[in-house]
Amino acid sequence: MAESGESAGADWFGAEVATFGDRLAGAREAAGLSQEDLAQRLGVRLTTLQAWEDDMAEPRGNRLQMLAGLLNVSLTWLLTAEGDGLAAPDEGAGRAPQIRAALAELSRLRLRAAELAQEAQSVENRLRQALAEG
């Protein structure tokens, strides 16, 4: 996670300047994900993600948690611009490309872990249902 909401670069994504959709789009781009990639990983339609980024709709709580984890920002920052989020664009410009690549890979791994957890939950639910019926 980059900077705290109280840092000098916080105004870039601050509540007075940026909306939830702006912060979501910025975090998605910083994670190196396209809208299509993120929508697929979240299990939502592309139009749903686009509506979130355009501030035409808001995700439910479970999707908010997944978004924060996948994008490596705090849930509080996504919602209010306070807490751990993204730095202003030029604050990270001097960082090594390897670091950005590693962070993008970490985001992809977190997403895969979240997908596997959902799949495991689905299997567990089917097993519990089969036990209850049998």
Residues in the chain, how many? Answer: 134
Residue 101 falls inside a structural domain? yes
Q: Give per-residue pLDDT as tens, 58-67.
A: 999 889 999 9
The pLDDT value recorded for residue 96 is 60
Residue 75 falls inside a structural domain? yes
Angle CA(103)–CA(70)–CA(47) in degrees, nearest 5?
A: 125
Q: Give per-residue pLDDT as tens, 76-129.
A: 888 888 876 766 555 555 566 677 677 777 777 877 888 888 899 999 999 999
Q: Kindly report the CATH number assigned to the domain that includes residue 12.
A: 1.10.260.40
- Percent of the chain at pLDDT > 70 equals 76
Residue 3 falls inside a structural domain? no
Name the residue with higher pLDDT: 113 or 52: 52
Residue 1 falls inside a structural domain? no
The pLDDT value recorded for residue 5 is 40
Residue 2 falls inside a structural domain? no
Q: Within a 10 A sphere around the Cβ of 6, how many other Cβ atoms?
A: 8
Average pLDDT taken over every residue of the chain? 80
Residue 55 falls inside a structural domain? yes
Residue 12 falls inside a structural domain? yes
Residue 121 falls inside a structural domain? yes
Q: Within a 10 A sphere around the Cβ of 70, how many other Cβ atoms?
A: 25
Q: How many domains does the chain have?
A: 1
Residue 120 burial (10 A CB sphere; 0-12, 13-18, 19+): exposed
Give this prediction's pTM: 0.58
The pLDDT value recorded for residue 62 is 86
Name the residue with higher pLDDT: 40 or 6: 40
Tokens of 44: 């939502």
Domain that holds residue 116: 8-133
Q: Which residue from 120, 15, 128, 119 is spatially nearest to 77, judged by alpha carbons? A: 15
The pLDDT value recorded for residue 104 is 72
State residue 73 phi and psi, 5-degree precision. Answer: -130, 160
